[in-house]
Amino acid sequence: MVAMLKLLVLLVTLAGVFSVPLQDKITPRSGEACGYESCPVTENGVLNVHIVAHTHDDVGWLKTVDQYYYGSRNRVQKAGVQYIIDSVVKELWEDPKRKFIYVETAFFWKWWVRQPESIRDKVHTLVRQGRLQFVGGAWSMNDEAASHYQSTIDQFTWGLSKLNETFGTCGLPRVGWQIDPFGHSREFASLLAAMGYDGLFLGRIDYQDKSSRLHNQDMEMVWRGDDVLGKSSDIFTGVLFNTYSPPPGFCFDVLCDDEPIIDDPDSPLFNVDDKIDDFISTCFKMALAYRTDNILVTMGDDFHYQDATMWFKNLDKLIEYANLKSAKDGLNVKLFYSTPTCYLKSVRDANPELPIKQDDFFPYASDSTAYWTGYFTSRPTTKYFEREGNNYLQMVKQLQVLAGLEEHNKFVLNELKSAMGVMQHHDAITGTEKQHVTHDYERLLNQAIDDALLIARQAFNKVTQGDALKPPLFEYARCRLNESSCHASETSDQFIITVYNSLGWDLKEALRIPVVEGSYEVYAPNGQKIDSQLVPIPPLVLKIPTRHSSATHELVFIARLHALGIKSFYIKKIKKNKRDSHTHDYYNVGSNVRSHGLNVKPTIIDNFENRAKRDTSDLDITFHYYPGCVGNNRVPANRSSGAYIFRPNATSPKQLNPLTTENFNGVLVDEKRVVYDQKVLSVRRHYKELEFIENEWLVGPIDISDDVGKEFAVRYQSDILNNGEFYTDSNGRQVLKRKLNQRPQWNVTLAEPIAGNYYPVTNEIYIENGDKRLTVLTDRSQGGTSLQEGQVELMLHRRLLHDDAFGVGEALNETANGEGLVVRGRHRIFTTKDEVLLRKNILQLHQQPIVFVSEAHIPYDQWLTLDNCHRFLKSSLPDGLHLLTLEPRGEQLLLRFENYKDTNMQIDISNLFDGIKINGIHETNLAGNRWKEDVESFEWRKEREFADSFNKQYGGNGETSHVSSNGQIQDEGFNVALKGKEIRTFVIDYDLVKKETL
Ligand SMILES: *[C@@H]1O[C@H](CO)[C@@H](O)[C@H](O)[C@H]1NC(C)=O
Ligand SMILES: [Zn+2]
């Protein structure tokens, strides 16, 4: 009764906006049906041709998001999404037989909020009647190589929440639609399955893979997304016949030149017979590649349907005349308007036996010289900025809830969610867009971060002053730490560092604060002076063209941070000659200039390894560049290396010469700096308290005075005999085994033996043998490989002078302030096999503690009285448990718990947070848009059973692993069970209560 009342109140509130209650608009009336119930009836024994009218609307590529939406700058590309949706709605309204799908919620939402009530009503009707269906439905059609699972889940959550709140169940996308991304990850398949999708359609797979699949009728399969999750991660996956374009000759858009269907028998142009014969024969050809009597014909392309009349008028005729001809000539073919969802339903009804897949679809090659492995690294600074954006997003989502801030903050929160959703698009994080579009993405994300920081400032204010809205004591400035530049710390004699740790466990992070030379003291919140060390900023950093800073040094200290904690440190610059024993500067223990080309062995790494006694592997770090191929792209042999394609013009890369080395050893960190020719710097450092070796690399400006584009890579050479095998992560979650010059499911011929062995590295790459392992963690997505025994190679930066002819029409030649772009980043190198330690470090580099710097307008003594160490978890989460998401959801909150171990665990979620009382929980699917109890999944017949573990099977050594099943586990109230590798999503009723600890 109470629940009913609540629902009623909710509905009335929602309905307040509309003239008719929302529920009436979204619930199918009698005679109406959406989803599978709205599908056309297929016939047995005939070829059922599902005509799928669609448009592919890139959320930025050659034009910016807004330029595409409004149809501005049509000379660059004729595309205006607002007209597309306007026009499609009109045409759908004309004829109930017509259907259309829409994919990118970023565009749909931009359009929806600008529509009058009359149009919205029509769209509600179209959706209720299954005439307009959503597929995909995330904010954008995300890339699958460079994207991280946390951001993918977030952008689905965001897009799907809009669809659900607007259209209810009829707006629910049933299938994934990844028709343009350049290769497909296994983790994404796993995530889609967990989001309750019934199927996934792909456009681009490797040309050799595709030809063997076409030949063997393997275009559709059951893809197992994750070995540990097993069956629950299985998803039907179909590869489209013609990427996502119409069959040749059947493009009826304003953008095409194909002949329309001319059905006036008196006209000399009459072409119905020819057209229909041609189309039907194409259909039968397509049908050979698929196992059921159904085929899906994509009728649309990039930004098609701006004038939807052209498409629909011709499709109407195509369908009508083909069916007439089939009936007349007994051709047993039937055409009808359909959707991917309806196609999937027909396939399921036919219940074919399907092949299985357990690996992924990387790397993607479209012909023998076109390996799309350059984009794994293209635009490395944008890729890093996207990571930062995610970091800020996680922080503000958490703080909005934990600090109990005002509801209206959700506007800035949503702005950042949208910006991050856009960044996941397959021409955004990939770096395959035009330069001006990159600038626009960066503008968008930067603005969104700036605006959303309002939440962080209010939260900090609430913690320190007890009132979020009081004028803040501090400015909490964001610094450009990747350029070692920070106004507040380099211009003031006392300043405050505020750090937020968005991870659910206590951790240590080395902070490096830009300052001018001097003596500094660092105080922890308890008034204790903590060790710090001053190190000079390397000259190549000081010379970064975009850098505006007077800082000469970095003040280094180790911050001990709490689980979901805010902590601040007070820094005093002390008068010279008053130096005391707590301030330790570096000791420059010697530098030398080398003129010969020998490798520089990083002795600190040897020291570390001896000390840690973990491994005796002998690690050499070398830097190299590949000169890029140049050609006119007319034939594969003339392919250029470009934004998408990696095509080195050499059988091995050119190794850089070390010019100088310097060592800076101190109380906290030992550093060895090597400057190479070609403007490359490598700082290998070991923080004595931390478990890894860090290699901070700087590349650029890349010299192109010789008119040669160059792609820079680092190689870590160990003595591990990895036998041509290496492991790369899939979107930061599971790890896949790779074998040099091989593919798991078909015999590959590699005309490009370097590019064809590159794989996406979102967070991690490793090689191993027995007890030995060498893991390199990255701070952004990069391409990586292992071309020689014992080696890990990662591509860092690319500057190219030619387009590779896949549409972007520009060379990937990034500049800043008139010079080639400089990139600086970090790798963290581990030799341990401790999976928990590694996982925590992977997450820590991915979700780096966020640093704010404020001038200290108050004296130290007053600062000491503030709450400078505040945490929102009672203690660190147990090993294996990751708090993947904590965000507001109306009056409730959305929590995601991830078990990153393979074994089951049980947690009492009511006892984790300090300051939150959990009153009720309701589980949803992974994307938070469906209640768990409403999710059902399809069963498929398979040709054979899945192997226990792909990684063990791949390579044919017959080894099998035993995935821990650990028996059944069950929830008991707030005590929830997480199976190995499981992520569970809950909507939580809660109250903020007084904290127990302070
Ligand atoms: C989806 O939206 C409907 C109303 O549109 C709402 O009743 C339902 O609770 C939503 N589902 C979830 C999982 O939020
Ligand atoms: Zn696209």
- Give 761-796 pLDDT, tens digit per residue: 999 999 999 999 999 999 999 999 999 999 999 999
Q: What is the pLDDT of residue 963?
A: 46
Residue 165 beta carbon below 6 angstroms from any ligand 1 atom: yes
Residue 831 in 3-state DSSP?
Answer: coil
Q: 731: closest CA among 120, 356, 192? A: 192
Q: Which ligand is nearest to the CA of 807?
A: 2
Split at pLDDT 50, 70, 90, the class of 410 is very high
| Rounded mean pLDDT, 853-872 | 94
Q: Does residue 604 carry a pLDDT above 80?
A: no
Query: Is 773:761 a contact under the CB 8 Å cutoff?
Result: no
Long-range contacts of 276-279 (CB under 8 A, 24+ apart): 276/318, 276/321, 276/322, 276/325, 278/249, 279/247, 279/250, 279/318, 279/322
- Give 434-488 pLDDT, tens digit per residue: 999 999 999 999 999 999 999 999 999 999 888 888 888 899 999 999 999 999 9
- Give 819-830 pLDDT, tens digit per residue: 999 999 999 999
Residue 768 beta carbon below 6 angstroms from any ligand 1 atom: no
| Rounded mean pLDDT, 136-149 | 98
Place of tokens 């560092």: 497
Atom nearest to 26 CA in ligand 1:
5
CA of 891 to the centre of ligand 1 (A): 14
Minimum CA distance residue for ligand 1 atom 14: 929
| Rounded mean pLDDT, 329-341 | 97
Q: Does residue 624 carry a pLDDT above 70?
A: yes
Q: Does residue 2 carry a pLDDT above 60?
A: no
Minimum CA distance residue for ligand 1 atom 3: 168
d(CA 415, CA 455): 12
Q: What is the pLDDT of residue 219?
A: 98
Q: 221: closest CA among 234, 232, 230? A: 234
Q: What is the pLDDT of residue 587?
A: 53
The best mutation among 27, 164, 893, 926 to test binding of ligand 1, ranked by most ligand atoms within 8 Å of the C-beta, falls on: 164
Residue 925 beta carbon below 6 angstroms from any ligand 1 atom: no
Strands, E, within 516-602: which ranges?
519-523, 529-530, 532-536, 553-561, 565-574, 583-585, 587-593
CA of 145 to the centre of ligand 2 (A): 14
Query: Which tokens belong to 178?
Result: 């990844």
d(CA 207, CA 796): 27
Helices in 330-434 by DSSP H: which ranges? Answer: 340-350, 380-402, 410-423
Split at pLDDT 50, 70, 90, the class of 375 is very high
Residues at Cβ < 5 Å from ligand 2 ion: 58, 180
Q: What is the pLDDT of residue 598?
A: 32
Q: What is the pLDDT of residue 582?
A: 42
d(CA 119, CA 124): 9
| Rounded mean pLDDT, 262-272 | 97
Task: Classify residue 491 as exposed, middle or buried by CB count within 10 Å of its CB (0-12, 13-18, 19+).
Answer: middle
Residue 28: cis peptide before it, omega within 30 degrees of 0: no
CA of 520 to the centre of ligand 1 (A): 55
Q: What is the pLDDT of residue 586?
A: 54
| Rounded mean pLDDT, 493-515 | 98
Query: Is 479:486 a contact under the CB 8 Å cutoff?
Result: yes
Q: What is the pLDDT of residue 773?
A: 96
- Give 434-446 pLDDT, tens digit per residue: 999 999 999 999 9
Query: Which tokens belong to 939?
Result: 């069963």
Q: Which residues are catalytic?
A: 180
d(CA 394, CA 455): 12
Split at pLDDT 50, 70, 90, the class of 619 is confident
Split at pLDDT 50, 70, 90, the class of 284 is very high
pTM: 0.94
Strand partners, 825: 697
Q: What is the pLDDT of residue 962?
A: 43
Lowest mean pLDDT segment, chosen from 78-87, 191-200, 601-610, 840-849 = 601-610
Atom nearest to 165 CA in ligand 1:
5
| Rounded mean pLDDT, 598-614 | 42
d(CA 890, CA 413): 12
Query: Which tokens belong to 55?
Result: 């448009």
Q: What is the pLDDT of residue 471?
A: 86
| Rounded mean pLDDT, 221-234 | 97
Lowest mean pLDDT segment, chosen from 42-46, 203-207, 318-322, 413-417 = 42-46
Given phi > 0 = left and psi -120 to 50 = alpha, else beta, which region is 191?
A: alpha
- Give 93-111 pLDDT, tens digit per residue: 999 999 999 999 999 999 9
Q: Does residue 862 carry a pLDDT above 80?
A: yes
Sign of the C-alpha dihedral, residues 14, 15, 16, 18?
Answer: positive
Q: What is the pLDDT of residue 892?
A: 97
Mean pLDDT of the chain: 93
Place of tokens 């003129």: 595
Split at pLDDT 50, 70, 90, the class of 669 is very high
- For 406-439, give the DSSP string: -GGGHHHHHHHHHHHHHHTBTTTTT--S-HHHHH
Query: Is 592:661 a contact under the CB 8 Å cutoff?
Result: yes
Residue 923 beta carbon below 6 angstroms from any ligand 1 atom: no
Q: What is the pLDDT of residue 833?
A: 95
Q: Does residue 20 carry a pLDDT above 90?
A: no
| Rounded mean pLDDT, 340-350 | 98
Q: Does residue 593 carry a pLDDT above 50?
A: no
- For 1-45, give the DSSP string: -HHHHHHHHHHHHHHTTSSS-HHHHHS--TT---GGGGPPPP-TT
Residue 930 beta carbon below 6 angstroms from any ligand 1 atom: yes
CA of 237 to the centre of ligand 2 (A): 19
- Give 382-393 pLDDT, tens digit per residue: 999 999 999 999
> DSSP character for 61?
S
Strands, E, within 770-810: which ranges?
772-778, 782-785, 791-799
Q: Does residue 682 carry a pLDDT above 60?
A: yes
Q: Which ligand is nearest to the CA of 136?
A: 2
| Rounded mean pLDDT, 21-36 | 93
Torsion of CA 33, 34, 40, 45, to 10 degrees: -110
d(CA 156, CA 154): 5
Q: Does residue 17 carry a pLDDT above 80?
A: no
Split at pLDDT 50, 70, 90, the class of 953 is confident
Q: Does residue 855 carry a pLDDT above 90?
A: yes
CA of 805 to the centre of ligand 2 (A): 15
Q: What is the pLDDT of residue 719?
A: 94
Query: Which tokens belong to 466?
Result: 């007890």
Q: What is the pLDDT of residue 600?
A: 34
Q: What is the pLDDT of residue 9?
A: 47
Q: What is the pLDDT of residue 954?
A: 78
Count of Cβ atoms closer than 10 Å to residue 238 Cβ: 21
Minimum CA distance residue for ligand 1 atom 1: 164
CA of 407 to the centre of ligand 2 (A): 35
Residue 157 beta carbon below 6 angstroms from any ligand 1 atom: no
The best mutation among 26, 27, 165 to test binding of ligand 1, ranked by most ligand atoms within 8 Å of the C-beta, falls on: 165
- Give 563-587 pLDDT, tens digit per residue: 999 999 999 999 865 444 444 455 5
What is the amino acid identity at position 390? N
Q: Does residue 405 carry a pLDDT above 60?
A: yes
Q: Which ligand is nearest to the CA of 934?
A: 1
d(CA 72, CA 66): 8
Q: What is the pLDDT of residue 946?
A: 94
**Judging by DSSP bridges, how do beta strands 519-523 and 529-530 pair with one another?**
antiparallel
d(CA 897, CA 899): 7
Q: 654: closest CA among 597, 595, 739? A: 597
Domains of the chain by range and CATH? 2-137+173-361 (3.20.110.10), 881-992 (2.60.40.1360)
d(CA 54, CA 58): 13
With pLDDT > 90 as the criterion, what percentage of the chain qualifies? 89
